[in-house]
Structure 1
C-alpha cells in the first residue's frame, strides 16, 4: 500500500503545528528516552509502518516493529523506539491514533473473513468506497491487512450500474439492449449492475451482463436468486450488499454468492493501544 510522504507529514503537522508546548515548558525535551506501544487486547495490527515513518521523520531510532497484518496478543509490545523526550512525545498520539484506528478496521475485517471462510473459503469480503472522508489510504490498507479487498477504490476503475444510472437510460430493458456495446468498450473489465428484482437480474443475465449485485435481499430469497442465475450462467458473478456484518455474514455466504460487500468495517471500534514513554538511565 502506497502512503505518500505528504500524508505522513500531514499527520504530524496536524498534531504538532509548531511546538510541543508541554514538553518545552517542562524543560525535558533534550532528555533521552524510549517509547513502547503495546496492545491491551488481542487483534490484527495495522499502521505500524506509518508509525515507523513518523519515527524516522522525528529522529526516533526504531528498535522493534511488528508488521501490519500480524496478530497481536493482549499486553504484547509491537513497536519500540529511542530518541529525545521532545520527539517521543510528538510521535506518541499521532502513532497511537493511526494504529488504534487502522487496527480496529483490520481486526473487524479479519473476523468477517474468518466467519465467511468457515462456510466457504472462496467467498471474498470486499468493502465499499463509503469510507470516512480523509481516511481512505489508511482504511484500505487496514482492510487488506485484515484479509479483505476493496470493492471499488473509485469511480474510475469499475463499471457498477445503479438505479440512478438506469433513470437516465430508460430502465433495465434499455440497459439489456446495450450490454454488448458496453462490454465492447471496456473488454478487460466486468460490467456489473445492482438490481431490485430477480426478473431484472434474469433479463440482464440472459443478455450477457458479467455480474449482479443484490442489495438488502433476505437470505432465503437470495439463495433462490443465486440458484436461478447460476443455472443460466455458471460464471455469473453475484454480490450481496446491504447491512451485512458479523451477526449475519455466515447466513449470506450460505446463499452461494461470490462476494460479500460491506461498509461496516470502516466504523469498527478502535483497538485499545497503550503507550509507555520512559527515560533511559
Structure 2
C-alpha cells in the first residue's frame, strides 16, 4: 500500500492551480449559467485502464471551492483500475464544483499517466532484479506529486533535489579534471549520511571511479556489451545504475545485463495524461 502524501504538501499546489484557472474574476460561466445554491452529483470515471495516483488532489480541489462538499474516494493511490471504473464520487454546490473540475482532472490525469507508464516499465523488467527509478526531469512545481506517482506505479524515487545526495555528472567531472578527483572531493565533503554517485561514460572512467569507492555508479549510455562488462567488473561492490537510451523496447535487455537500477526520465517528462472524465449523475 502506497502511503498518502500529506494534505499540507498537496494543498498549496492545488490552490495555486485553482488561482491560475479562476483568474481575476472567477468562473464567469458558472455564475452566468448555474442558479445560485444549485447542487450536483458526479463521478470521476476512467476512460482507459491505468494506475491511480493523485486522488487526493480531487478531494482538495473540490473542498477548496466548497468546504461542505461530500467527496467519496472509491480507490486508493497505487490501485489498478479498468476503463469505466469510478475513482471518486462528489456531491457539492454546482457552481463551486464546476469551477474545481478542470484543476482536479488536470492533476489526476497527469499523475495517473505517470503511474501507469511507470507500471509498464516495472512490468517490462519483472524477474530481472532491476528496479525502475525516476529522475529530476519533472514539471516545475509538481515534483513531489510526480515522484509520488512513480511510487504508485511501482518505481523508485531518485533524489528529490540537489540537496539530498551528491551526483557527479559529466560537467562536474570536466571542471574537476577527472572522475577520480571529483569523487575524492565529494567524499571529503559528504557527511556520514550523504551518498555519493558518479556518472561515467565508459569502462575507463568506471575503473577510475571504482578506485575511489562511490556508493553508486551511473553507467551513461553504455552499450549492452559494456553494461554486462561493467556488472562483471564491479561484482556487487557498488550499486550500478543504467541511464540513457531507455524506452519500453530497450529496458528489458538493459535489465538483463544485471544492473541494479535503471533511471528513466520519460516517466515524468513524457508520460501522457490518462483519460479521466467527470460524469454528472
Whether these two folds match at TM > 0.5 is yes
Structure 2: unaligned runs, 5 residues or longer? none
Residue 182 of structure 1 corresponds to: 187
2-structure distance, mates of 1:238, 1:148 = 16
Residue 55 of structure 1 corresponds to: 62
Aligned-pair CA distance for 1:114: 1.7
Aligned-pair CA distance for 1:140: 1.1
- Report SS of the residue matched to 1:35: strand
2-structure distance, mates of 1:85, 1:29 = 8
Residue 139 of structure 1 corresponds to: 146
For residues 63-105 of structure 1, the C-alpha deviation after alignment (integer angstroms, 9 at most, x for no partner) is 3431111111111111111012101211211111111111000
Residue 95 of structure 1 corresponds to: 104
Residue 274 of structure 1 corresponds to: 277
Any residues of structure 2 matched to 1:9-24 within 5 Å, and which? 9-17=15-23, 18-24=25-31
Q: Confirm or deny: 8 A CA contact 2:14 2:103 kept in the other structure.
A: no
2-structure distance, mates of 1:212, 1:113 = 21
Q: Label 1:197 to 1:91 Cα distance change in 2 as closer, same or farther (>3 A).
A: same
Q: Confirm or deny: 8 A CA contact 1:126 1:151 kept in the other structure.
A: yes
Aligned-pair CA distance for 1:20: 1.7
Select the residue among 227, 231, 235 that pairs with 2:232. 227
Residue 163 of structure 2 corresponds to: 156
TM-score, L = length of structure 1: 0.90
Note if 1:8 corresponds to 2:14: yes
For residues 158-210 of structure 1, the C-alpha deviation after alignment (integer angstroms, 9 at most, x for no partner) is 1111221122222134346x26x715742223222111221221122133222
1-structure distance, mates of 2:26, 2:191 = 52
Select the residue among 25, 31, 40 that pairs with 2:38. 31
Q: Label 1:143 to 1:83 Cα distance change in 2 as closer, same or farther (>3 A).
A: same
Aligned-pair CA distance for 1:4: 4.2
Select the residue among 56, 77, 80 that pairs with 1:71. 80
Aligned-pair CA distance for 1:40: 0.9
Note if 1:167 corresponds to 2:174: yes
For residues 221-241 of structure 1, the C-alpha deviation after alignment (integer angstroms, 9 at most, x for no partner) is 2111211121xxx23111100
- Report SS of the residue matched to 2:173: helix
Runs of 4+ more than 6 Å apart: none
2-structure distance, mates of 1:209, 1:21 = 58
Q: Confirm or deny: 8 A CA contact 2:13 2:141 kept in the other structure.
A: no
2-structure distance, mates of 1:73, 1:186 = 46
Q: Confirm or deny: 8 A CA contact 1:35 1:88 kept in the other structure.
A: no
2-structure distance, mates of 1:257, 1:269 = 27
2-structure distance, mates of 1:165, 1:96 = 40
- Report SS of the residue matched to 2:41: strand
Q: Label 1:173 to 1:140 Cα distance change in 2 as closer, same or farther (>3 A).
A: closer
- The total of aligned residue pairs comes to 271
- Report SS of the residue matched to 2:175: helix
2-structure distance, mates of 1:4, 1:98 = 11
